Chain A
Amino acid sequence: MTDGIQEETVLIKWKGLGIRKIKDSMAKVVSYLILALMAGVLVSIFAYILGSGAAHATISMFTTFGDTTTGGLLNAIIGTWMLVGMGLLFSIPPGILGAIYIVNSKSNTRVSYIVKLFTDILTSVPSIVIGLFGYLVLVIKFGFGYSLVAGGIALGIMMLPYLLRIIEISFRNIPREQIENAYALGADDIKIASRVYLPQASKGILSGILLAVSIAAGETAQLIYTAGFNNALPTGFLKSQVAYLTYVVWTGINQPSQYSHYLAYVSAMILILTITALIFLSKYIVRRK
């Protein structure tokens, strides 16, 4: 009898434990599946792009100019960096000034609110709309033509909200007492910005810039309407078209020739490698003491 009761309790214990164990392992399986799915998507994109890129890459693609059906990608590689650099030129100063304005306690709170609201809205404006705006206003109305300046401003408009918010966050991470302390030592607003905000947030600002660059380098839609394409390097800032890598990806696939496809693969490979490197670099900068 007693043995029977003991056996039963043991069994009940086992049952309870069993259900918990099964639930536990099911949760594990599900989370691993989700992880595998995400990693799978990422790995297959990487494997496919890097594989097909590497298979068709030649040295001359990196050393000569081209027109998306013949020649190389050097003009598009350099053009991409020129456009991104232009974009930074138009987005870093307003990004930093805007962030300083937002975090300064003496600023008009309503203006700060509106700046933040506009930034948030700007983040969600589709890039093709920014491209269209760039075309109608910058290219046509201001007469910049397809050019570095028009493309750079279009990219800058897209980078600005990211930069502003990341810089704002790194400003807000500075201990409040340090800012008060600098004021107490007789710093004025300009000195607070130049001696406290900027140096202490420099890592955050740099990683924000790298992230903005990695986003901008992979943009296409704004540039289609503002940068055009060029078989060589632009000859000036205005009215001289610029080549860029995403254009080669976009048009290369539509061309009938096999070589155009190869150029598109290699462009995609360069973009993915560059963007990955930038993201890792920005993470490294943030983590470093």
Chain B
Amino acid sequence: MAEKIEKIIEIENLRVETRKKVILDGVYLNIFKNRVNTVVGPSGSGKSTLLRALNRLLDLDPSMKISGDILFDKRNVKDYDEVELRREIGLVFQKPNPFPMSVYENVAFGLRLHGKVRKEEMDRMVQQSLVDANLYDEVKDNLNARGDSLSGGQQQRLCIARALILRPKVLMLDEPTSALDPVAKGKVIDLIRTLTRKYTVILVTHDMNLTRRVSDYTNLIYNGKFIAKGTGSEFFESDLEEVKEFLSEAD
């Protein structure tokens, strides 16, 4: 951590509500470049909504009212073209959900969306993404197998590879290990630690074990409000009532 720590995303007073309830109620949060930025909080506290606000996936639901500012590389996400924004900020979902096609095609999907790519170039990019997702050695002889024939942990890493092929600046992981068994979970944890060499990671989870192992910066969201932040050890030693309460409940 010798190099200068740079902010890549700044969230200011983000408020998200539906007609019925307020999901995020004034969140201020910074995301630091090439770090694992973790957002923790109980279920239903608005963590997933926060991620979907960052890549404007919330825009798909017209009932969501969004206010406040999200600056990505100093530029408001509202001023980005949606497609461009989502290429730069990748999202991997909680439940692994490969498309019903081969391993290769799953990874290639994102690039194919954005135009023609030469076969050799595509092969190289698919391979690199699978290597980056720590999956290549397990599937290299079987790239034509269906994505949904892989094990749960492999499927999740496949989904990570699928997001990585677009070379996003930020990779958001929404509870990436909650649907996995301990062994598969261990592999994803190892992977998250290596990802920060190339990417900025935003990790949403309520698993404090996972947070302790991978998080550089930890942020707590409680009832839609941002409560506390800290580097790994700072956060866990915080004196704030909400942090203590959450930690005792989570463990």
Give the nearest-CB partner of A174 in chain B. Answer: B100
Q: Interface range on chain A: under 10, 10 to 19, 20 to 34, or 35 or more? A: 10 to 19
User: Is B166 in contact with A180, judged by CB distance below 8 angstroms?
Assistant: no
Does B169 touch A at the CB level, under 8 Å? no
A16 to chain B, nearest CB (A): 51
Which one of A147-155, A185-193, A250-258, A276-284 is at the B interface? A185-193
Contacts A105-B60, A106-B60, A191-B113 hold; do A184 and B55 have CB atoms under 8 A apart? yes
Asked if residues B100 and A200 are in contact (CB atoms below 8 Å), the reply is yes
Q: How far in angstroms is the closest Cβ of chain A from B95?
A: 6
Q: How long is the Cα–Cα vector from A180 to B84 in the complex, in angstroms? A: 16
Known interface pairs A178-B97, A178-B99; A184-B86 also in contact (CB < 8 Å): yes
Task: Kindly state whether residue A20 has any CB partner on chain B within 8 Å.
Answer: no
A186 touches B87 (CB 8 A): yes
A177 touches B97 (CB 8 A): yes
Chain A residue nearest in CB terms to B90: A184
Give which listed residue, A106, A177, A182, A191, contacts B95 with CB less than 8 A: A177
Structural contact, B91 and A184, CB atoms closer than 8 A: yes
The answer to the question of B199 belonging to the interface, with a C-beta cut-off of 8 Å to chain A, is no
B93's contact among A106, A181, A188, by CB below 8 Å, is which? A181
A48 is an interface residue with CB less than 8 A from chain B:
no
Q: How far is the CB of B84 from chain A (nearest CB, A)?
A: 8
A183 is an interface residue with CB less than 8 A from chain B: yes
A178–B93 CA distance with the chains assembled, in angstroms: 10
**Contact of A186 with B166 at beta-carbon distance under 8 Å, contacts A177-B97, A178-B97, A178-B99 already known:** yes
Task: Provide the bound-state CA to CA distance between A175 and B96, in Å.
Answer: 12
- Pick the residue among A105, A188, A200 that contacts B61 (CB under 8 A): A105
Please encode chain B, from 97 to 124, with 1 for each CB lying within 8 Å of some chain A CB and 0 for all others: 1011000000001101110000000000
**Given A105-B62, A195-B113, A186 contacting B86 (CB threshold 8 A):** yes
Shortest CB distance A137–B (Å): 37
What are 13 residue pairs bridging A and B, where the CB atoms are less than 8 Å apart in the complex? A177-B95, A177-B97, A180-B57, A181-B97, A181-B99, A182-B109, A184-B57, A185-B109, A185-B110, A185-B163, A186-B87, A188-B83, A191-B113
Closest 4 CB pairs of A and B: A185-B110, A184-B91, A186-B86, A186-B87
